[in-house]
Structure 1
Amino acid sequence: MLHRSWRRVALATAGLLAVSLVGCSEEPTESTDLTENRAGAMAEYGVGDQFTATEPLSFSVLYNNHPNYPLKNDWLFWSELTKRTNVTLEPVAVPLSDYEQKRSLLIGAGDAPLIIPKTYHPAENAFVSSGAILPVSDYLDLMPHLKDKIEKWHFHPELDSLRQSDGKFYLLPGMEEKPTQDYSLVMRTDILDELGLAVPKTWDEVYAALKAMKAKYPDTYPFSDRWGKPTPGGALLNFLGASFGTNAGWNYQHTTWVPAEKKFVYTGASEQYRQMLAYLNKLVAEGLMDPESFTQTDDAARQKLANGKSFVISGNAQTLVNEYRPDLARTNPAAKLVKIPLPVGPAGEINPAPRTSSGGIMISTKARESKNFVAMMQFIDWLWYSDAGQEFSRWGVEGTTFARDGSGKRGLTGDVDVVGLNPKGSKHLQKDFGFYNGVFAYGGNLELVQSFFSPEEMEFQQVMNARTPIAVPPPYPLTDEEREQVALWETPLKDHVTQNTLTFILGQRPLTEWDAYVTELKSKNLDAYMQLVDKAYDRFQKENG
C-alpha cells in the first residue's frame, strides 16, 4: 500500500463530510469560452486515449517530498512522463512534515504552483472564499476519464461531499473503485498460539487476549502503541473510533452522522465517543495497554515490540513488512506477527475506509488564464484518472520496472523491489525510479489498487471487502460567513476534546465527570455550532434533495 500521509485526517474541520445524496443534479457543464486557452490541447481526446500535448508544455506542481523516497531529478518517472505526454512537470518540493503549512503559505501569497496534489478534504475549504483555487466542477467536460469513472463507480455521493454552498466543488477527488482499509492491529500470533487463543475477531476478544497475555507475562504491557504524535492515539483512535461509530484520532471531525437517528451529533460529546474512551480506559487501568502509547515516539514503540516488552501494536501493510518483522527477526526469529482484520465493535461489521482516501487535487485559479489550460486539464485527467496513467504512476515502464506473465498479471522485474515483494532486487521502484509515488499514484480500480498486495494482504482485504462499506454522511456546506463563524469555535472545541480524550483514557480524569466535560464544551459554543450545522444541512437538503 502507499504510505498515506499520517497527518491527513487531522485536517477535519467543520465543512463538508462524505455523503450519500441521490437527488443531486449532474455535474455542471463547462460553458465558459475557452477558445483562447487551448494551446497544446488535443482536439479529440476521450476515454482510452493517450494524452499527448501538440506542443511541448510544462506545468508546475506542488511536490510532497516523502523522506522514504526523496525527490530525484533523474527519475525515470519524469523522463518517461514527458516522452508519453510531451509535458514536463516542474516540482516545487516541500517536505512531508511541512506540506500543509507550506501549501497554505504559498496559496495565501499567490505563489502556489498550478497543480496542487495531496490535498485531503476539507483542507480546500480554507481557500475557496479567497478565489485562490478553481471550482473544478465547472470543467469536468475536459476530463473524460474522470467523468467515466464517476459514472461507472457511482461516485456522485463522494462528489456531493465536496460541494460548497454554491453547489460547486473545488477539489478533484482521488478515486478508488472500492474502499481499502489498511490500518489495524498487528499481533504476535505465536503468543496467541502459546495461550491457545484464536485471532480476535471483536474488540471484546482483543480485551480477553490482552488479559491472557498480561496474566502470562505480568511484567509487560501487552499493547504498546505508536503514532501518538502529533495526534495522541492518531491511528488507533481512527480505526477504533470507526468500530464504535464515531470519528476519532486522525479522522477526528467535529460532527458524526448517526444513520439510525438521521442526525448529526457533536463527535467529542457523543455517546459513541464516550464508549470508545471507556474501552481504552479499561485497557490502561488494568495494565493491558502502555500508558505511554499516546505520547511515545514511534521508535520507542517499535523497540518495545522488538524486545518482547509488548505483543500488539497498530500497523499497516508496509510497517508490518518493512519495520516490525525485520525488527523482531533480529531479536526473536521465531516470533510471528500478523495484521489482523479490523476487530468488530458496536458499529458492526463495517469497512470504514472512504473511497477518497488518497486525497485529491486543487487547481490554482491562475491556471484558468493560461493559454494551455485545456491541455493541462487533459493532462491531469490522463495521469491521475485514466487506467493507463494510473498504471504508469504505480508500476512504471513495462520491460524496465515490470513485466506481465502469460495471464497478463504484472510483476516487478528481477532487479526491482518495493514493499518487500522482491527482496533480492537491488533497485527500488520508489527511491530509484520515482514510481508508486504518493503524489501521483492516486486510487484506481480494485485490481490495480490491489496489484501490489501480497497473498497475505489479499486475505486481509478479502475479509474487509466482505463487510458493509461505511455509510457516507450527508453534506452541510457552509456559507463564507458561516465558515468564518465556526472557525472561531473549532479550535477551542477541538483542543478541549483532544486534551480530555487523553486524560479520560489515562484515568487522570474519571469518566464519572463526562457530563461536566460536555457542559464545558457547551460553554465553548457547542450548541451554537450544532445549530449552525443543522441549519446548513437542512438548507442543502431543501435546495438539492
Structure 2
Amino acid sequence: MLSIRKKVIATGALVALVAGLTACAPGDDAEVDLSGKDVGAMANFAAGEQFTATEPINFSILFSDHPNYPLKKDWLLWSELTERTNVTLEPTVVPMSDYEQKRSLLVGAGKAPLIIPKTYPGQEEAYVSSGAVLPVSEYLDLMPNLSEKIEKWDLEDSFEGLRQADGEFYVLPGVHEDIWQDYTVAFRTDIMEQLGLEDPKDWDEFRDVLAAIKTAYPDSYPLSDRFKGDSLLNVVAMTFGTSAGWGWDAASWNEDDKKFEFTGATEEYRAFVEYLHSLVADGLIDPESFTQDDDSAIQKFVSGKSFAISSNAQTVVNDYRPALTETVPGATVAKIPLPAGPAGNVLSEATRLENGIMINADALKSENFTAMMQFIDWLWYSDEGAEFVKWGVEGTTFAKDADGTRTLNGDIDFVGVHPGAPKHLQKDFGFATGVFAYGGATELLESTFSEEELAFQAVMKEKDVLPLAPPFPLEESEREQATLLETPLSDTAKQATLRFILGQRDLSEWDDYVTELEGKGMSRYLDLVNSAYDRYAETQ
C-alpha cells in the first residue's frame, strides 16, 4: 500500500481547459460577455508574440518582498517592463515573512490588488466560496502561451487537478517542463571527506552519516535545521509515501483499498515519524530545528556548531558558503542528492506545478481585463517573458551567443557566478526574483545552474515519479464541511507529530493519538472525501 499526495480534481481534456472567447460562468450555463473589456488589448494575440498594450495601462500587484533583495523603485525590471509592454505595475509591498497572512487579510477584506502572485495550488481554495477570486479556467483562451505549454508539456492532468467541484480552477500555477526537485539537505563536505563519508543513498545511510559526525563531534547536533523543519519533513515524508511539512495534505490515496485515508493516521506516516524521532533521540538532529528562526539555524551552521541544514541551490550560494568561508577557513558545503526511502527512489509529480497567481474577481469589471490576461500570459508563460524576468536585458545584464547560450555580464553576480562583482542581478536590477521568475522550460531553468547544480539535477532525473492520486471534487456544501473538519484534524496531527518527533510524547501512545483524531471527526471527514471520490468514479 502506498499513500500518494492527493489532488482535489475533476478531470477533463485540454479542450475543456481552453474554452471559447465567450466563457460560461461557473456553476451555470450563462455566458460571460467580455465586450467592452478589451481596452488596451492586442487583437489576435498569439503564443510567441510580444505583448504590448495598445495604450498605457496600470495594474496593481501584491509583491512579496524578499529580505535578501528588497524592492527598489529604480530597478531596471520596472522600466524595461513598461517599455516592452506599455504596462506599469503598482506593487503593494508585503514582507515575505508576512505574505500569506497579509494576502488572506486583503483578499478577505476585498482590498487585494488585481494580480496576486506567490500562491501555491491549494491555497486558493479558502477564497473560492466567497467569490473573491476569479475562476481563471474560464479565460485560458486569452492566454495562448500558457495553453500551448499545457498541451506541449502534457500538463493536462496536472491542471485538471486544480479544478473545484464547479469544474473551474482559481489559480494559474507556475509550470515546469520537467519535474524539478531543488530542496534537500546541505552538508559540510569537508567534514564528510575528513571522515571518509559518501553521500547517503537512502535515509538509513543518512542516519549513518549523521552518526559518524556525532561520533567525531560528540558535543554537536550534526543537523540543526531551518524553515521550522518543514522542508526536511516534506522531503523525508515524500520518500516514505506520505506527506508532511510544506507538502502536507490531509488525505492520502490507498491504492490497495481504493480509498482515501487520513494522512496522519497511516502506517507510512507513523514510520516517517518514528524515523525522525530516532534521529532526535540519538542526538543527531537539534530539537530546536522545529522552532528556531532561520537566522539561528544559519548561524549554527556557518559557525561550525552544526554540519547539515536544509537547503536549495540559492541558499548554498547566498546563505551558507560565503559566511562559512569567512568563519571556518577551508570549510566547504554542498547539497546532497535527495535520499531514497521506503516508497523508493521517488519524486512527486506535483513538483511540475509551482506557486502561481490568483486574480481578484473585481478584475473582470475592468475595461482592461483582456489586456491584463494577455499581459500575465506573456510575462509568466511566454518564453520571451520568462527569459526577461530571469536574465534581464540582453546587452545590459547578459549576452547571448548564436547557439542561445546566455552569459551574465562580468560586473554582475548571481548565484556565485561572479563573486565580488559590484552589482547583483536580483538586488540591483530586480531580475530572477521569486515573484516573477519561476517555472518554465528546462533549458531556461538550468541556464543559471552551476556545474554543481547541473550534476545534482542529473541525479534527480534518475528518480521514479509518484503518480497523482485520483480526484475527489467536493461540492460547495461538502467543501465547507470538509474544511471545518480538516483544519482541526490537521492541527492535531501536526502538533502530535512534533511532540512524537521530539520525544515529548511516547510513540507507544500512537493508538491514543489516532483515537483523538477520531474524536475530531476523522471518519466524517473521510466519508466526505470518499463519497466525493465515489461520485466522481461513477462518471468515468
**Structure 2-normalised TM-score?**
0.93
CA distance in 2, matches of 1:297, 1:93: 22
Alignment of 1:513-524 (within 5 A): 513-524=509-520
Question: Is 1:26 the equivalent of 2:22?
Answer: no
What secondary structure is seen at the aligned counterpart in 2 of 1:67? coil
Residue 458 of structure 1: which of 423, 432, 454 is its match? 454
Residue 309 of structure 1: which of 301, 305, 310 is its match? 305
Q: Cα RMSD over matched residues?
A: 1.9
Q: 1:209/1:22 Cα in 2 relative to 1: closer, same or farther (>3 Å)?
A: farther
Alignment partner, residue 173 of structure 1: 173
What is the one-letter code of the residue matched to 1:83?
A: E
| CA deviation string 1:390-419 (max 9, x = no partner) | 111111100001111353211111111122
Alignment partner, residue 101 of structure 1: 101
Alignment of 1:339-378 (within 5 A): 339-352=335-348, 354-378=350-374
Question: Is 1:190 the equivalent of 2:190?
Answer: yes
Alignment of 1:407-446 (within 5 A): 407-446=403-442
CA distance in 2, matches of 1:468, 1:478: 30
Alignment partner, residue 81 of structure 2: 81
Query: Is the Cα–Cα contact under 8 Å of residues 173 and 353 in structure 2 kept in the other structure?
Result: no
Alignment partner, residue 232 of structure 2: 236
What is the one-letter code of the residue matched to 1:409?
A: T
What secondary structure is seen at the aligned counterpart in 2 of 1:451? helix
| CA deviation string 1:124-162 (max 9, x = no partner) | 111111222111111111111111001001111111111
What secondary structure is seen at the aligned counterpart in 1 of 2:354? coil
Q: 1:341/1:361 Cα in 2 relative to 1: closer, same or farther (>3 Å)?
A: same
Alignment of 1:69-468 (within 5 A): 69-228=69-228, 233-259=229-255, 261-352=257-348, 354-468=350-464
CA distance in 2, matches of 1:307, 1:100: 32
Residue 537 of structure 1: which of 525, 533, 537 is its match? 533
Alignment partner, residue 503 of structure 1: 499
Please state how far the C-alpha of 1:261 moved relative to its aligned partner.
4.7
Please state how far the C-alpha of 1:351 moved relative to its aligned partner.
2.1
What secondary structure is seen at the aligned counterpart in 2 of 1:358? strand
CA distance in 1, matches of 2:8, 2:531: 18
| CA deviation string 1:268-323 (max 9, x = no partner) | 11111110111111112222222222222323322322333322221111111112
Query: Is the Cα–Cα contact under 8 Å of residues 19 and 473 in structure 1 kept in the other structure?
Result: no
CA distance in 1, matches of 2:35, 2:318: 51
Alignment of 1:457-496 (within 5 A): 457-496=453-492
Query: Is the Cα–Cα contact under 8 Å of residues 134 and 363 in structure 1 kept in the other structure?
Result: yes
Please state how far the C-alpha of 1:215 moved relative to its aligned partner.
2.2
What is the one-letter code of the residue matched to 1:144?
A: P
> Which runs of no fewer than 5 residues in structure 1 stay unpaired?
1-14
Q: 1:274/1:37 Cα in 2 relative to 1: closer, same or farther (>3 Å)?
A: same
What secondary structure is seen at the aligned counterpart in 2 of 1:366? helix
Aligned residues between the structures: 526
> Which runs of no fewer than 5 residues in structure 2 stay unpaired?
23-31
Please state how far the C-alpha of 1:260 moved relative to its aligned partner.
5.0
Please state how far the C-alpha of 1:205 moved relative to its aligned partner.
0.6
What secondary structure is seen at the aligned counterpart in 2 of 1:419? coil
Query: Is the Cα–Cα contact under 8 Å of residues 16 and 477 in structure 1 kept in the other structure?
Result: no
CA distance in 1, matches of 2:479, 2:6: 11
CA distance in 1, matches of 2:76, 2:412: 13
What is the one-letter code of the residue matched to 1:107?
A: V
Alignment partner, residue 11 of structure 1: none
Please state how far the C-alpha of 1:330 moved relative to its aligned partner.
2.0
Query: Is the Cα–Cα contact under 8 Å of residues 9 and 164 in structure 2 kept in the other structure?
Result: no
CA distance in 1, matches of 2:196, 2:432: 40
Q: 1:308/1:98 Cα in 2 relative to 1: closer, same or farther (>3 Å)?
A: closer
Query: Is the Cα–Cα contact under 8 Å of residues 60 and 113 in structure 1 kept in the other structure?
Result: yes
What secondary structure is seen at the aligned counterpart in 1 of 2:525? helix
Alignment partner, residue 26 of structure 2: none
Question: Is 1:17 the equivalent of 2:7?
Answer: yes
Please state how far the C-alpha of 1:257 moved relative to its aligned partner.
2.5
Please state how far the C-alpha of 1:258 moved relative to its aligned partner.
3.7
CA distance in 1, matches of 2:374, 2:302: 49
Question: Percent of counterpart pairs with the same letter?
Answer: 57
What is the one-letter code of the residue matched to 2:7?
A: L
Q: 1:103/1:310 Cα in 2 relative to 1: closer, same or farther (>3 Å)?
A: closer
| CA deviation string 1:187-224 (max 9, x = no partner) | 12222222222221111111112222222222222222
**Structure 1-normalised TM-score?**
0.92
Alignment partner, residue 59 of structure 2: 59
